[in-house]
Chains A and B, each alone.
Chain A
């Protein structure tokens, strides 16, 4: 161990001794020396940084970036603790003297105890310091690396002293985790940070500069950090302000911070809430004006987000109040007639009302094509929606409209009433009415006619089958109906030869008669006539002129 430390120290001295121009050109031996030195430094710092995952700085095969990362991992928490310790010593310079005494005392115990406190402190400070460190330039130049490492080394040494001191001071009641004094101090510090950070930043940087004169880059970093810190801390502080975390305890510490506390962030007193207003009045009596100016200068660049939000809210509120006070727009007013609104204002508004009419169908090519298809199918099927005449069900037989008879009735009144009476008492025996008689007669005639026509037309005439319910009465002689022989002419029409001619003897035509025969015929005629005339005279014994015309004509 001792040899390694000695080697490290020696390498460091070597590096230090080299002149600056030597660093401009990368050289292998220089880099090796530097790596070795940094490794030693790392391992020496290891006991003070319990959080770092590396026991040793791994050099072989790693490039500058990776080595730097490892160092960074270790050094960051160390930096926090160092800074805190420094602040503490600022407040209480007495303890520095105590430190010296404590160093001579038990080193080891304090180291162990302090590690516990360091944890707590590290956690608290991490939030703030992270912001600062995030923007560090991650240069790959080994020069910067070295310088930082140097700085860290010094810090770590100091830190170690501080830690030992503090460990002795504390009493025996608290255990390593809970230290009330520490807690108190932490709270005060935190609040001071929150509210007085702007003012104290300068002082902080000053202290830092004092401590780390040799490190130019650190200062540069701090300056950058300061500017960025302003913005970052504004947010954090604003948050606290809104929650109203003012405590009475902090008043003592805030003598210097009073002026900047509220107005930095909110500017005018108008925007405060009632609570805050009261508190602020207590505190900002004298210094408000100056603070405003200072703050204004700071905020020239732009309003903070919170202020902007508030501004927006305000404008919105104004708008809404205005809308509420103004008379409503006509669309919001309920029933509005044309006189109560502007001309043509209804056209601009998209009115919604129910249409009772189906919208007219848009005729597109598809629609027409579909229609035509439908028509074609219907025609091919023959499925037309023709209106079919509905036949009324005639349940009743058609009434027989009795026609008025204009003629003199043939029946006497007595017969009329007689008929009526008979019909009432005995409908079946009633004599048929006029219409029935006609009907019967007509049907009879028609049947006769049909029979005759059938006989004329069919060779195989089959008479209508006699159905029981239908009683067909025909006056045709039975003989005609029962004739089997196929005939074209009915036999009934046939006459017997005697019926055709009943006569005897030779029959001669008129032309064939001889003269004597003609004479004979005439003479017979005369004789007959005479005989009849005589008979008649005998019947009627009346005075009639007897005309002997026959006698006159006898001799012909």
Chain B
């Protein structure tokens, strides 16, 4: 069927072209963009996102918030494979763009990392948002109490340091034990990463705050 479609498409285009003059090249063939469904020879595209155990109940809780935008706006089929503990995404026939699938997959993935749905939704809406993950041991080898203290430094009392960084750099941060995930645009991720790294390395929060203030002022000035 796909071959027929392709052939028909090709056939359709050919007769429309009149015979060109002997001197000039033949005109470019114009093709309509492929629909997601037609890609990879008409086969359906899948994405599967595994669900970590600690995100199981939040998934259940926020399932409708996840499902609705994916199915309605992105036009991607989504289902939860309970046995395999995976979220499966599939393109539909009327999926407008192939990137939708990827976006949805990213969105679901972000949720699985630990981000909130309202924050992860931004991935669906904006193209240039990325998620960066790194571990504390990548920055500095810390063991035992030092590690715990580093994690404490990163979050701050009641999470205020983390929130401060988030608000200043327009990112979202998830600190999962030794893993750190940052969601935001490229430049903002960089700034947030620098602040976090400095905190890991041992600088006090006040120093990080002052730096953040400067950065945020600069960012605000730009616009």
Contacts and interface: CB of A to CB of B under 8 A. Distances in A.
Contacts of B121: 412-414
A213 B217 CA distance: 143
A405 B159 CA distance: 11
Contacts, number: 64
Contact of B163 (A405, A413, A414, A418): A405
B122 A406 contact: no
B92 interface: no
A409 B223 contact: no
B126 A414 contact: yes
Interface in B124-177: 125-126, 129, 159-161, 163-164, 166-168, 170-172
B163 A417 contact: no
B122 to A, nearest CB: 4
Interface in B175-189: 183-185
Interface centre among B163, B167, B209, B212 (most CB of A within 10 A): B167
A371 interface: no
B212 A413 contact: no
B223 A402 contact: no
Chain B binding site: helix, strand, loop or mixed by DSSP?
Answer: helix
A407 B118 contact: no
Interface string B58-69: 000000000000
B86 interface: no
Contact of A409 (B166, B183, B209, B213): B166
A414 B164 contact: no
B25 interface: no
Contacts of A424: 223
B216 A404 contact: yes
Given A409-B167, A413-B170, A420-B170, A404 B213 contact: yes
Interface in A396-419: 399, 401-402, 404-409, 412-418
B38 interface: no
A401 B213 CA distance: 9
B3 interface: no
Contact of B213 (A402, A407, A415): A402
A554 B168 CA distance: 71
B97 interface: no
B17 interface: no
A414 B168 contact: no
Contacts of A401: 213, 217
Interface in B85-119: 116, 118-119
A314 interface: no
Contacts of B21: none
A402 B118 contact: no
Given A402-B213, A407-B163, A413 B220 contact: no
A214 interface: no
Contacts of B161: 406
B124 to A, nearest CB: 8
Interface in A442-482: none
A550 interface: no
B194 to A, nearest CB: 16
A430 B34 CA distance: 37
A203 interface: no
Contact of A414 (B122, B213, B216): B122
| Most chain B C-beta atoms within 10 Å of own C-beta, residue among A399, A408, A415 | A408
Nearest to A427: B223
A1 B98 CA distance: 181
Interface string A496-521: 00000000000000000000000000
Contact of A406 (B119, B126, B164, B185): B164
A406 B164 CA distance: 5
A370 interface: no
A405 to B, nearest CB: 4
Nearest to A403: B213
A405 B168 CA distance: 8
A423 interface: yes
B159 A408 contact: yes
A423 B164 contact: no
19 contacts: A402-B217, A404-B164, A404-B167, A404-B212, A405-B167, A406-B163, A412-B116, A413-B122, A413-B129, A413-B171, A413-B183, A414-B118, A414-B121, A416-B122, A416-B170, A417-B129, A417-B185, A423-B223, A424-B223
Interface of B: 116, 118-119, 121-122, 125-126, 129, 159-161, 163-164, 166-168, 170-172, 183-185, 209, 212-213, 216-217, 220, 223
The 10 closest A-B pairs by CB, nearest first: A412-B118, A414-B122, A406-B160, A413-B119, A413-B122, A405-B167, A404-B164, A414-B121, A408-B163, A413-B172
Given A409-B163, A417-B125, 10 more contacts: A402-B220, A406-B160, A409-B167, A412-B119, A412-B122, A413-B122, A413-B183, A415-B118, A416-B122, A424-B223
